[in-house]
Chains A and B, each alone.
Chain A
Amino acid sequence: MMPLLKNKNLSNLSFSFWVGSICVLFVFLLAIVSFFWTPYDVTSLEISNRFKTPSYNHFLGTDHFGRDILSMIMVGTQTSIAVAMVAVGIGILFGLPLGLIAAAKRGTFFDDLVMRFNDLIFAFPALIIAILITAVLGPGAFNAIIAIGIFNIPVFARVARGAALTQWSKEYILAAQVSGKGTILISIEHIIPNILNLLIVQATIQFSLGILAEAALSYVGLGAQPPIPSLGRMLADSQTMISIAPHMAIFPGLFIVITVLGLNLMGDGLRDYFDPKLKVSNS
Chain B
Amino acid sequence: MLEYFFRRVVTLFFTLVFASIIIFVSLEIIPGDPASYMLGINAQEDTVIALKKELGLDKPKFERYLIWVKGMLIGDFGVSYTYRSPVIEMVGERLWVSLPLAIYALLLSTIIALPVGIFAAANRGKILDFSIMGFTQIGIAIPNFWFAMLLVYLFAIILRWFSAGGFAGWEDGIILGLKSLTLPAIALALPQASILARVMRSSLIDILSEDFMKTARAKGLSFKKALISHGIRNALIPVLTIIGLQFSFLMAGAIIIENVFFLPGLGRLIFQSIAQRDIIVVESVIMLLVFSVVLVTFIVDIAYVIVDPRLRSSIL
Known: A119-B11, A242-B157. A132 touches B138 (CB 8 A): no
- Set B137, B146, B209, B251: member contacting A125, Cβ < 8 A: B251
Q: Is the interface of A mostly helix, strand, loop or mixed?
A: helix
Known: A135-B274, A246-B153. A281 touches B202 (CB 8 A): yes
Asked if B27 CB lies within 8 Å of chain A CBs, one says yes
Taking a contact as CB atoms under 8 Å apart, the answer to whether B294 and A123 are in contact is yes
Asked if A29 CB lies within 8 Å of chain B CBs, one says no
Taking a contact as CB atoms under 8 Å apart, the answer to whether B15 and A215 are in contact is no
Asked if A260 CB lies within 8 Å of chain B CBs, one says yes
Q: Which of A119, A220, A238, A260 has the most CB of B within 10 A?
A: A220
**Chain A residues near B143 (CB-CB < 8 A):** 212, 215-216, 219, 232, 235, 253, 256-257, 260
Taking a contact as CB atoms under 8 Å apart, the answer to whether A137 and B29 are in contact is yes
Nearest residue (CB) in A for B18 is: A120
CB distance from B281 to the nearest CB of A (A): 11
Known: A120-B18, A265-B137, A281-B206. A127 touches B253 (CB 8 A): yes
Nearest residue (CB) in B for A258 is: B141
**Chain B residues near A261 (CB-CB < 8 A):** 137-138, 141
In the docked arrangement, what's the CA distance between A212 and B248, Å? 16
**Which residues of chain A (231-248) have a CB below 8 Å from chain B?**
232, 235, 238-239, 242-243, 246
In the docked arrangement, what's the CA distance between A130 and B97, Å? 23
Instruction: Count A-B pairs with CB separation below 8 Å.
Output: 117
**Chain B residues near A281 (CB-CB < 8 A):** 202, 205-206, 209
Taking a contact as CB atoms under 8 Å apart, the answer to whether B14 and A120 are in contact is yes
15 residue pairs A–B, Cβ–Cβ below 8 Å:
A123-B293, A127-B256, A128-B289, A135-B274, A208-B141, A215-B146, A216-B145, A235-B143, A249-B149, A261-B137, A261-B141, A264-B137, A281-B202, A281-B205, A281-B206
Q: A123-B15, A128-B251, A128-B286 are in contact. List 14 more A-B contacts (CB 8 A).
A: A119-B11, A119-B15, A124-B294, A125-B290, A126-B252, A127-B253, A128-B290, A132-B26, A136-B29, A212-B143, A249-B153, A253-B143, A281-B205, A281-B209
